[in-house]
Structure formats: structure tokens, C-alpha cells
Amino acid sequence: MSYTAPLKDMLFVMNELAGLAQVNALPGCEDATPETVEAILEENAKFCGEVVAPLNHTADKEPSYWADGKVTTSKGFKEAFQQFGQAGWQGVQHPVEFGGQGLPKLVATPCIEMLNSANLSFALCPLLTDGTIEALMTAGSAEQQQTYLANFISGKWTGTMNLTEPQAGSDLALVRTRAQPQGDGTFKLFGTKIFITYGEHDMAENIVHLVLARTPDAPEGVKGISLFVVPKFLVNADGSLGERNDVHCVSIEHKLGIKASPTAVLQFGDHGGAIGTLVGEENRGLEYMFIMMNAARFAVGIQGLSVAERAYQQAAAYARDRVQSRDLAGSPGPVAIIHQPDVRRMLMSMRAQVEGARALAYVAAAASDAAHHHPDEATRKQNQAFYEYLVPVVKGWSTELSIDVTSTGVQVHGGMGFIEETGAAQYYRDARILTIYEGTTAIQANDLVGRKTARDGGAVARDIIAQVRKTAAELDASGDAKLEAIALRLNESAAALEEVVGFVVANIKSDIKAVFAGSVTYLKMAGLVLGGWQMARAAAIAAGKLKAGEGDTQFYSAKLATARFFADQILPQALAYRTAIVDGAESVMALSEDQF
């Protein structure tokens, strides 16, 4: 159950598909030279593999626990988190002025992948802190930034996101937590928040909660929600810790997976009011939270990729190791099960999905960097639109496939996969939250359909599809039969996706239910086609390298075969999705409520 970071594939994707050199050429990204990046990744891989990964299974067996309002995290977490902070890993993508390394998102992304592969439960704490940093960078006052950011980035303090309440899950309009102004610039908060990841723990000196709440005269619904920063310990003017604030963890959840990550129920204001300060302007809380959530959604997409990669590594190791049955050619004795075609099919399916998800996510990260740093405004805008289209796809598709990949990982192990000691089952349990938190797949799909596709009449979607077709045309004209085979599948699926985009745009006004009946299917289809696109690009590059006799032949031939597998075995599902979306809406809403 060890974890070895797939550095070779990460660097290939960064260099060849996501364009690290172009990112490095952007103003403000000068430090991200290929040599520096490789050194950072190697160091991170070492830390994740040696310090964090060994805690994954042990922490699952002995999860974090609650007693008398305090949460004790799993053995080793506290020490590992201290090392994490001291080594500067929290600050990879954050501003130098607050102690970060100020590196591009493209460089932070593989680091996040590695940490999550090593230990999903552990990685959630930094993940939430990243979101908090992002929100305060965008909307926090200079004082708030001064008070909190350096402490987050050094790993001294951690951050949380407090959105959900018992009656307000996907629908934040229903938030009821109250914030009472005290006349001195502070507010007192009262309410209950649930599902708060690392809402209480013992890994840091202070825990800083970003909390959605309503001021007394706030309008109803989502337009009356403000964002507050509420630290567990109040912070004195000199930056030292003051009194204990009135926010208390009353319990943590008993969950299917990510058991070492404490999921808290937080009670605000039961003893007079939890003191907080407003972030940005009143009633704009949801807007700020969305900034934070977009970063967090992308990161959860990476979590899907991460746990899938870990499951793949363990399954491949087991398949090489486990001897059972002869091979089909009739070997003299039993052979390792990796010789069996169905085991191969399972491993290839895991591998192809992982590589496709990685390529798409890293390409999205590079677009985010260009959107922030490119000197040309039109290019910035174009990259921003591309990135925004991809965020729900990366979040939704990578997490949905992680359920499939981790389930296949269990299957490769046979009966041993069902025994908790083996470890494969943990990935299957852990992965199951990923399609739910930070917005369910349906919520991502609403975003993809509404804001990302219908709003501009499908313009961005069609631009992207045109790029897919361009790749397909290049492969088709390559004269290489293997690339032509991939081009065929890519073209078919791109055409199907184009049809679906047309369906969404044409029907969003006249038959909104029919469009949303296919929203998740559209999201999964977009993931397939765009993941398939990146695999096709990778195949073309690999074929070129092989032809030129350059580089690592084993790596490139594997890449080519994996891309071919993706094209033949995975991509054709896009056509079935097309039928489901375009022709299949009628039956979705056909039953009355009491017919269920």
C-alpha cells in the first residue's frame, strides 16, 4: 500500500500537454522553470510518499475522534501537518508577500494530486485552507489579510468553509445562521453548521472559520447572505491568540469514508455569540464563497484523480503479485493474474481514466494561469472562459470516474479486496464523498448547462469542440494507423458532443426540464470527450517521439496504447450518452411522484 508519485506522467502532461514552458514565460511565473518544477515535484513526491502515505490506512483504522468538544486526529497527523507547513507545502501557489512560493496553479496541481493520493483525509485540511486563503485574498480587508494569511501559509493556523446547515445543503438560499452587528465593527454569530471539514482538530494552534450568515435586515434568499471570518481563538492586536471564541464542535460524523478527516457539527453562539468580522461587503457572501468554491471544486476534481491513481497503483501491484490460474495459452503452472485478459482490461480501464483525468485537469490549471497572468486581455479572457467551462467538468467527471476506478480496484483483488486489511476497500469508501461535497455532480452539471453553456449560446463549448476536431484532423492526417483509429473515435464523439450542445442551447428556454434531465449525462460526456481529446494529443506526441527514437520508449509506447484503449473502450460511451440526452428526456419526468 505504498504510494509512488507518477512523476514521469505528471511531467509529460505538464510539459507536453499543458505547456509548462508557455506558463513559465508568463509575467509573474518566471520562477517556474522546468528544472525548478521538477525539483519541487521530486521533493513533494518524497514527502507525500514517505511521511503522509503511510498514515493513510492506519488513520482509516483509527479515525479522528471527538470527546468533550475536542477532536483528536489520527495518530501521526499532527506531526505530519507540522512538517507539511514547515516545508512550505501549504504556500506553493500563494503570494510570496505572505510567505508563499507564488508558483503557478499548474505547479501546485501535481502537488495537490500527490498529497491527496497519499492521504485523502489528511489532504482535506490544506485543501480547505487553500480555499480560505483564496477568499481572503479576493475579498478580505488588508487587516484580515495581515492577520490570517501568513499564519495559514506557514501551517500555523488552518481554515474551514461553513456553508451547510441541516435544512440548507445544495440550496444555500435556506441558510439561517444570524450575524448581529455589535456597533464596533464586529458581529455576533448564532447558528448551527454541519458537515464542516476539519471544523475542529488538534493539528494547528487556531482554526479560522469562514461562515455564511444573515445580517438582521438582509433580504431573503441568496442575495441576503454575507461572509464572516470567525476564529476559534480571537486574535489580539499584536497577532497573539486571545480568548476562546463561542464556536464549539458538538459532534463529528460517523462516515462511510475519509474517516480520519473530522466532519464537524459546529455550534455558533450558544454562550453569548461567536465573534466575527465581515468579509468584503454585506450580502455579497455567496459571491465570495463561489471564488473559494471554484478553487475547491477544482481541487476536489484532483482528489478524484488522486484516489483513482492510488487505487490503480495498488491494483497493478497486486495483479503482478497474485498467482492464480494458468494463462490462456496454457502455461505449465499458475501465473500472476496480470496475465489474464480481464485483469488487463480492468487495469487498462483504471489507467486510461486516471491519465485522461490528469491531462484534462493540468490543462485546465495552465489555462487558469494564462487567465491570470497573460499580458494580452483577449487571451486572458479566452483562457478564463476555457477554464471556467472545465471546472465543473474536472470536478464532476474526475470524481464520478474515481468511484468506478476504485470499485475496479476492489474487483482486481477478488475476495481480498473486500477485506478491509487489504486497503483497496478504503479507496472505494473514501472516493464516494467526492461526487457529493463541494457541490454534487448535479450541481456541477447545473453550472455547466446554465452558466457555462446556455448563457453564451454554446459559444465557448463550440470553440472547445472545434479544437477537439482539429486534433482529430491532425491524427487522421498523420498516416499512422494507430493515430487514425483514435481520430475516428474522437471525431465521432466530438460530433455527438456538438449535437448535445446544440440540444442544450436550443431547448433551455422551451423545455428546461428536458435539458436538465440530461445535465449530468452531458457533464460526463464532456469529460469523456475532452479527456479523450487530451489522450489523443498525448498519443500524437508519443507516436512522434517513438518515430524519432527520442526519450523513453517504454513510456511512450504505453501512452500510445493507453490512449488507444481510451478511444476504443471508453470514448464510445459518449454516443450512448448522446442518445440518452437528445432522445431520452421524455421518460425521465414521466412518472408522478406517487408512482415511485
Tell which positions 293-352 bind its own copies, by CB under 8 A.
Answer: 316, 319-320, 323-325, 328-329, 334, 336, 338, 340-345, 347-348, 351
Closest CA to 256 of 429, 400, 56, 124: 429
> Which one of 9-17, 149-157, 162-170, 354-362 is the stretch in contact with its own copies (CB under 8 A)?
162-170
Cell of 541: 506526441
Active site residue 388: no
DSSP-derived pairing of the beta strands 233-235 and 241-244: antiparallel
| Closer to its own copies by Cβ: residue 75 or 320 | 320
Q: What are the beta bridge partners of residue 72?
A: 65
Kindly state the helix (H) or strand (E) to which residue 469 belongs, with its residue range.
helix 459-476
| Closer to its own copies by Cβ: residue 60 or 369 | 60
Report, in Å, the least distance between residue 258 CB and its own copies: 9
> Which one of 37-45, 298-306, 384-392, 519-527 is the stretch in contact with its own copies (CB under 8 A)?
519-527
Report, in Å, the least distance between residue 534 CB and its own copies: 17
The residue within the footprint of its own copies, chosen from 7, 241, 291, 575 (CB under 8 A), is 575
Cβ atoms of 522 and 445 closer than 8 Å: yes
Residue 467 interacts with its own copies (CB under 8 A): yes or no: no
Residue 596 interacts with its own copies (CB under 8 A): yes or no: yes
Q: What's the number of CA atoms in the CB half-sphere (13 Å) around residue 25?
A: 6
Q: Which position has the grid cell 494507430?
A: 482
Q: Which position has the grid cell 508563499?
A: 100
The residue within the footprint of its own copies, chosen from 521, 533, 540, 543 (CB under 8 A), is 521
Phi and psi for 327 in degrees, rounded to 5? -85, 170
Q: Compute CA distances 561 → 160, 352, 525, 535, whole Å.
A: 42, 9, 22, 10
Cβ atoms of 25 and 32 closer than 8 Å: no
| Closer to its own copies by Cβ: residue 51 or 194 | 194
Report, in Å, the least distance between residue 340 CB and its own copies: 7
Residue 170 interacts with its own copies (CB under 8 A): yes or no: yes
Please give the size of the binding site for its own copies, defined by CB under 8 A: 96
Residue 512 interacts with its own copies (CB under 8 A): yes or no: yes
Cell of 479: 498516416
Report, in Å, the least distance between residue 504 CB and its own copies: 13
Report, in Å, the least distance between residue 483 CB and its own copies: 13
Closest CA to 352 of 188, 561, 503, 163: 561
Cβ atoms of 60 and 259 closer than 8 Å: yes
Let me know the angle formed at the C-alpha of 276 by 140 and 194, rounded to the nearest 5 degrees.
100
Residue 8 interacts with its own copies (CB under 8 A): yes or no: no
Closest CA to 120 of 406, 412, 524: 406
| Closer to its own copies by Cβ: residue 185 or 415 | 415
| Closer to its own copies by Cβ: residue 44 or 435 | 435
Determine whether 54 is exposed, middle or buried from the number of CB atoms within 10 Å of its CB (0-12, 13-18, 19+): middle
Q: How far, in Å, CA of 231 to CA of 229, rounded?
A: 6
Q: Is 407 helix (H, G, I), strand (E, B) or coil?
A: helix
The residue within the footprint of its own copies, chosen from 88, 429, 506, 544 (CB under 8 A), is 429
Residue 588 interacts with its own copies (CB under 8 A): yes or no: yes
Cell of 401: 470516474
> Which one of 91-99, 143-151, 264-272, 584-592 is the stretch in contact with its own copies (CB under 8 A)?
584-592
Report, in Å, the least distance between residue 88 CB and its own copies: 32
| Closer to its own copies by Cβ: residue 34 or 334 | 334
Residues 528-567 touching its own copies, rule: CB under 8 A, are 554, 557-558, 561-562, 564-565
Q: How far, in Å, CA of 592 to CA of 596, rounded?
A: 7
Beta strands, E only, 77-170: 157-162
| Closer to its own copies by Cβ: residue 174 or 477 | 174
| Closer to its own copies by Cβ: residue 338 or 364 | 338
> Which one of 169-177, 181-189, 267-275, 385-393 is the stretch in contact with its own copies (CB under 8 A)?
169-177
The residue within the footprint of its own copies, chosen from 519, 530, 533, 535 (CB under 8 A), is 519
Sequence-distant (≥ 6) Cβ neighbours of residue 315 within 8 angstroms = 346, 347, 350, 408, 409, 412, 413, 424
Candidates 438, 499, 586, 593; catalytic one: 438
| Closer to its own copies by Cβ: residue 58 or 579 | 579
Cell of 216: 438582521
Q: How many residues appear in the chain?
A: 596
The residue within the footprint of its own copies, chosen from 164, 314, 353, 368 (CB under 8 A), is 164
Residue 573 interacts with its own copies (CB under 8 A): yes or no: yes
The residue within the footprint of its own copies, chosen from 151, 160, 441, 534 (CB under 8 A), is 441
Report, in Å, the least distance between residue 425 CB and its own copies: 4
| Closer to its own copies by Cβ: residue 250 or 348 | 348
Cβ atoms of 87 and 47 closer than 8 Å: yes
Q: Is 210 helix (H, G, I), strand (E, B) or coil?
A: strand
One symbol per residue from 185 to 214: x for binding its own copies (CB under 8 A), - otherwise; what is it?
---------xx-------------------
Let me know the angle formed at the C-alpha of 121 by 118 and 127, rounded to the nearest 5 degrees.
90
Give the sign of the dihedral formed by CA 355, CA 197, CA 45, CA 410: negative
DSSP-derived pairing of the beta strands 241-244 and 186-197: unpaired
End-to-end CA distance of the chain: 43
| Closer to its own copies by Cβ: residue 204 or 571 | 571
Report, in Å, the least distance between residue 101 CB and its own copies: 34
Count the Cβ atoms, other than its own, within 10 Å of residue 87.
14
Q: Is 101 helix (H, G, I), strand (E, B) or coil?
A: coil
Residues 12-71 touching its own copies, rule: CB under 8 A, are none
Residues 380-419 touching its own copies, rule: CB under 8 A, are 403, 407, 410-411, 414-415, 417-419
One symbol per residue from 115 to 154: x for binding its own copies (CB under 8 A), - otherwise; what is it?
----------------------------------------
Report, in Å, the least distance between residue 528 CB and its own copies: 10
> Which one of 119-127, 300-308, 377-385, 574-582 is the stretch in contact with its own copies (CB under 8 A)?
574-582
Cβ atoms of 398 and 357 closer than 8 Å: yes
Residue 261 interacts with its own copies (CB under 8 A): yes or no: no
Active site residues: 438
